[in-house]
Amino acid sequence: MGGFNKLQHTDIDEFEIITKNAVGVQKETLGRILKENAESEYLLNHGLAGRTDTESFKSCIPLATHKDFESYIQRIADGDSPSSILTTKPITQISLSSGTTQGKPKFIPFNDRILNDTMEIYKTSNAYRHREYPLTRGKGLQLVYAGKQARTKGGVILSTATTHVFSSEEYRKIIHKTHCSPEEVVFGYDFQQSTYCHLLCALLNSDEVEFVFSKFGHSIVQAFRTFEQIWEQLCSDIREGVLSKLITAPAMRTAVSKLLRRPDPDLATSIESKCRNLTDWYGVIPTLFPNSKYVYGILTGAMEPYLNKLRHYAGDLPLVSAYYGASEGWIGACIDPTDPPETATYTILPHIGYFEFIPILKDNQGATSRPVLGIEDLVVGKEYEILITNSAGLYRYNIGDVVRVSGFHNAAPKLKFVCRRNVLLSINIDKNSEKDIQIAVDEVGKVLKSSKCEVVDFTSYADRSSQPGHYVVFLEINGKASERVLEECATCMDLSFLDAGYLSSRKTNGIGALEIRVVRNGTFGKILDHYTSAGAAVSQFKTPRCIGAANEKVLDILTAGVEDRYFSNAFK
């Protein structure tokens, strides 16, 4: 392991050098991107004329959102390759966003540079994490799911960004070194069968597992909720040395059957004993994997609602945040792995893209004359929207996130994710963000705890079908709560929204009483199935926290699953 540790120290030393000159590195990174793509149609059309300095870039290139790039990306997808559209070199891959925010996936350019950036952020995050939590073998239960790859009309490879990464030669080498599961499980395409096999392969290597990982925290929670239901079948497979008939994917079945090899009744009996001695599955991860040191993944933002359940499964193991980015590109790595997810920050990697920031003005959210700042202009404690310029042809692209600057590592800003800018629950003058919805649901969780119930998942909807309109929150609950408790939940949630526009509207009956609609178990699983059937990858899925007009199918799924409805008694 000496070579392993030496490599980690080298990565940290390199990052220290880069971040000490973060402002200069940012200018060099922008210059490189502009020089490489000087002949692209997009930059030429905006009059940059081959210039690579920051001032010319900011004066010529407009601020943009995905809508501004849609026509360019569609031409790439359609095979308009004679012209260099967004980059000088042709784009041969396109990524699909999860589609949970807008209701349908977005097309995002992807190339080898973005792949290199991905591996760079993995390397940096790993280096700091392993300095705090050294590994011996480096093996983990890695709940990784690749989606299918297709081709556009123009022959461009189309899949999720994670699938592009997992399909790369660089990542396939990592699979063989650090995954308990063979790559046939990662590329199994049937997420339920892959989850079963991931768990089985980890149990077969239980003494070697040193960490549990998935890109998003909800995938870990989902996997161990599944484990609660299938652990006896997994033990049967191990005892008999024969893979369950539930696994029908040929390549996956062949690969995992080779790992089973022979019956192992002693291991099966040991696992059964451990499971039967657990109280409500608390600490199941360290119980099954006694050498595990941490659980990690993206655990902030939309993943925070799953933290309580994840901590329940993890027991005393630390939850470690990994990195921060968007479908459009990576931004920063967590270099303080001992920080709990609620306070986790991400340090910008100044060499993987050029980043700009627009201040959030609390007193005038609609201001159009806000300055656009570089990393050297940021102020600790202030909130900003992020713009990305990357190597795959996105320039001054607003990703729609709001972040708070919590400090600096050398000259590189440390960012805390606050919320998605465009996810708003609103009836008229009220504006509640994804974070506000989460806070309200957290209060409900405290009320349900007294009934030994918990929120499995949730989303919200502004119902304007009657007057006055009102907020609807769909809840999937594990356990049975009384009507009195659920009515209390509705009132508690109603009082948790502290936005001035909401409070004044509720008091004057401009907004009606908040409604909780309890859906039957498995309803949110059907939402996941809906998105994955439309091409989204499980590894990228995030439950939409606010359902709008673009999510009509999701609203239909939720409505069909409603079992009970409860209204707030507040403001009467």
State residue 158's pLDDT score: 87
Q: What are the φ and ψ backbone dihedral angles of 552, each rounded to 5 degrees?
A: -60, -40
CA 394 vs CA 100, 107, 180, 200, 298: distances in Å: 21, 12, 36, 41, 24
Name the H helices within 375-522: 434-449, 483-496, 500-507
Which one-letter DSSP state was computed for residue 91? P
State residue 366's pLDDT score: 47
Whether residue 305 contacts residue 455, with contact meaning beta carbons closer than 8 Å, is answered with yes
Domain boundaries, the chain: 2-108+346-420, 134-317, 424-567
CA–CA dist 246, 252 (Å, integer): 11
Q: Is the pTM of this model over 0.85?
A: no
CA–CA dist 485, 491 (Å, integer): 10
State residue 339's pLDDT score: 93
Regions in the chain scoring below 70 on pLDDT: 1-9, 81-83, 98-104, 362-368, 422-423, 534-540, 549-550
State residue 187's pLDDT score: 87
**Residue 537, C-beta contacts closer than 8 angstroms, at least 6 positions apart:** 98, 145, 146, 147, 159, 160, 162, 163
Q: Of 103, 212, 140, nearest to 459 (Cα)?
A: 103
| Beta-bridge partner residues of 151 | 157
Characterise 297 by phi-psi region: left (phi > 0), alpha (psi -120 to 50), beta (else): left
Q: Where are the beta strands (DSSP E) in 449-569?
A: 454-463, 470-478, 515-519, 546-547, 562-567
In one letter, which amino acid is 23? V
For β-strands 157-160 and 93-96, DSSP reports them as: parallel
* Helix (H) or strand (E) segment spanning residue 177: helix 169-178
Q: Hey, what long-range contacts does 60-69 have (CB within 8 A, 24 or more apart)?
A: 61/395, 61/396, 62/396, 63/358, 63/372, 63/387, 63/396, 63/398, 64/394, 64/395, 64/396, 64/397, 64/398, 65/397, 65/398, 65/400, 66/106, 66/397, 69/393, 69/394, 69/397
- Helix axis angle for 265-277 and 191-204, nearest 10°, is 110
DSSP structure string for 392-403: TS--SEEEEEEE
Whether residue 406 contacts residue 415, with contact meaning beta carbons closer than 8 Å, is answered with yes
CA–CA dist 451, 99 (Å, integer): 35
